[in-house]
């Protein structure tokens, strides 16, 4: 088995997740870590059990073949471009740029270098959403026509944090890109138009908007909606005597999809740890279409990360792909199409109008 050395840029919370995944991979040998502040770099490297290194050392080390980028959002694209130009494979956290122009520059460099670039849309590796895609592709719900996501949470950014200081539609490419990306994946289609509206803020100290209502029309006729509110869920104060998602299940937190097709429908519910599927049939005796639940899958608390946010599984798989010389499983161009949708939605909110796909080039 060929092993590779890897580096993790950014040793905060997400960087720690990347380090943990790299340690669990049978394809990874040495792990290097970078933080811009030397004292923090050395301290965090010691805490995480990795080798501290400067950016110059990482980029110049031929044994390092894969770089996980988990730095602050502003540095994603500059560091990814540097890594690609240094001949490294790259797994970069989203957002894939602070602007569509910045994301397009990253795509340009990837094409010039023919380098390995995958963006961290780990929901493609999460069993809950893989199960949805498998059932859609198997034709179990017929042709998908409607895709609704409802995502309600509590205020999780807190005053004066870097997240609360994000401006405008910060949350769309930073957080909601995952869920818009899933809608594209489920439809296997590209969007034609998008309209996004945001109501007046409730969380007064946010610089960014705290809600987004995004409606997307796809080229084959499907419609997707994303209803996001970042304050309705009860403020989470962990009760150690209760299981976490069970505690949140009925306090206003929701993360659900309903994917409706011509022959049935699928529901995913993170807080109920459940996937259900309906089947639609003609019922002459009832003189109507009949809907019935034909499948219900549940999972256990210890399986949460594998089922609905499998970052570790994604990262382990990418180390394997790079070690074996295989291409990305979610192409950078596919991720770029999701970014187009994200920034078109942002543009729609800013200008209070419908945005057509044909306008995207003007936004770059």
pLDDT at 267 > cutoff 80: yes
Quote the pLDDT of residue 325: 96
Domain boundary among 119, 146, 165: 119
- Mean local confidence (pLDDT), 263-283: 96
Percent of the chain at pLDDT > 90 equals 89
- Mean local confidence (pLDDT), 279-293: 90
Whether 201 and 281 map to the same domain: the answer is yes
Number of CB atoms found within 10 A of residue 296's CB = 10
pLDDT at 23 > cutoff 80: yes
**CATH number of 60's domain:** 3.40.50.720
pLDDT at 1 > cutoff 90: no
Q: Which residues touch 133 (CB under 8 Å, ≥6 apart)?
A: 185, 186
Question: 362 falls in which pLDDT band (50, 70, 90)?
Answer: confident
Quote the pLDDT of residue 364: 79
Quote the pLDDT of residue 221: 97
Quote the pLDDT of residue 213: 98
Return the DSSP state at 71: S
The string of pLDDT tens digits covering residues 96-119 is: 999 999 999 999 999 999 999 999
Whether 129 and 208 map to the same domain: the answer is yes
Quote the pLDDT of residue 144: 98
- Mean local confidence (pLDDT), 232-245: 86
Whether 43 and 130 map to the same domain: the answer is no
Looking at the 3D structure of the chain, how many domains does it have? 2
Q: Judge whether 312 lies within some domain.
A: no
Quote the pLDDT of residue 238: 80
Quote the pLDDT of residue 52: 98
> Which range, of 1-5, 20-24, 132-136, 236-240, averages the lowest pLDDT?
236-240
The string of pLDDT tens digits covering residues 128-152 is: 999 999 999 999 999 999 999 999 9
C-alpha span between 223 and 215 (Å, rounded)? 7
> Counting Cβ atoms within 10 Å, is residue 69 exposed (0-12), middle (13-18) or buried (19+)?
buried
Whether 164 and 289 map to the same domain: the answer is yes
Domain carrying residue 38: 4-119
Quote the pLDDT of residue 252: 92
The string of pLDDT tens digits covering residues 317-339 is: 999 999 999 999 999 999 999 99
Task: Tell me the helix, strand and coil percentages in the chain, rounded to 5.
Answer: 40, 25, 35
Q: Judge whether 331 lies within some domain.
A: no
H/E element holding 16?
A: helix 13-24
Question: 249 falls in which pLDDT band (50, 70, 90)?
Answer: confident
Whether 115 and 240 map to the same domain: the answer is no
- Mean local confidence (pLDDT), 160-189: 93
pLDDT at 200 > cutoff 80: yes
Quote the pLDDT of residue 346: 95
Quote the pLDDT of residue 56: 97
C-alpha span between 305 and 312 (Å, rounded)? 8
- Mean local confidence (pLDDT), 301-309: 94
C-alpha span between 240 and 229 (Å, rounded)? 26
The string of pLDDT tens digits covering residues 28-65 is: 999 999 999 999 999 999 999 999 999 999 999 999 99
Quote the pLDDT of residue 240: 85
Whether 149 and 244 map to the same domain: the answer is yes
Sheet holding 223-230, edge to edge: 288-298, 274-283, 264-269, 254-261, 144-153, 223-230, 211-218, 191-197, 355-356
Whether 29 and 87 map to the same domain: the answer is yes
Quote the pLDDT of residue 340: 97
C-alpha span between 334 and 344 (Å, rounded)? 16
Domain boundary among 90, 119, 148: 119
Q: Judge whether 356 lies within some domain.
A: no
**CATH number of 201's domain:** 3.30.360.10
Whether 90 and 200 map to the same domain: the answer is no
């Amino acid at each position: 088995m060929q092993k590779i050395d890897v580096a993790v840029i950014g040793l905060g919370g997400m960087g720690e997740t990347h380090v943990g995944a790299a340690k669990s991979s049978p394809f990874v040998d040495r792990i290097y870590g970078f933080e811009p502040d030397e004292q923090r770099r050395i301290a965090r490297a010691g805490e995480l059990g990795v080798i501290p290194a400067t950016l110059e050392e990482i980029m110049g080390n031929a044994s390092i073949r894969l770089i996980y980028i988990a730095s602050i959002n502003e540095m994603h694209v500059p560091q990814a471009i540097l890594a690609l130009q240094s001949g490294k494979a790259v797994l970069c956290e989203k957002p894939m740029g602070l602007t569509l122009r910045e994301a397009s520059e990253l795509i340009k460099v990837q094409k010039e270098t023919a380098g390995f670039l995958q963006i961290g849309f780990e929901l493609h590796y999460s069993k809950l959403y893989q199960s949805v895609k498998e059932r859609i592709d198997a034709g179990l719900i017929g042709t998908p026509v409607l895709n609704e996501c409802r995502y309600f949470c509590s205020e999780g950014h807190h005053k004066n944090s870097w997240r609360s200081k994000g401006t405008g539609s910060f949350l769309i490419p930073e957080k909601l890109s995952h869920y818009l990306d899933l809608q594209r994946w489920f439809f296997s289609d590209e969007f034609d138009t998008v309209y996004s509206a945001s109501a007046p803020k409730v969380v007064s100290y946010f610089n960014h908007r705290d809600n987004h209502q995004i409606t997307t029309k796809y080229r084959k006729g499907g419609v997707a909606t994303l209803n996001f509110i970042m304050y309705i869920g009860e403020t989470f104060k962990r009760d150690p005597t209760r299981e976490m998602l069970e505690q949140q299940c009925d306090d206003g937190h929701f993360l659900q999809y309903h994917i409706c097709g011509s022959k049935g429908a699928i529901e995913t519910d993170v807080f109920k740890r459940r996937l259900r599927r309906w089947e639609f049939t003609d019922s002459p005796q009832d003189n109507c279409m009949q809907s019935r639940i034909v499948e219900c899958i549940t999972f256990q608390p210890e399986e949460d990360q594998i089922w609905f946010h499998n970052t570790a599984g994604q990262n382990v798989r990418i180390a394997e792909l790079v070690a074996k010389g295989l291409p990305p499983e979610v192409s950078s161009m596919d991720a770029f199409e999701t970014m187009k949708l994200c920034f078109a939605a942002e543009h729609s909110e800013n200008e209070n109008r419908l945005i057509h796909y044909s306008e995207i080039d003007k936004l770059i």
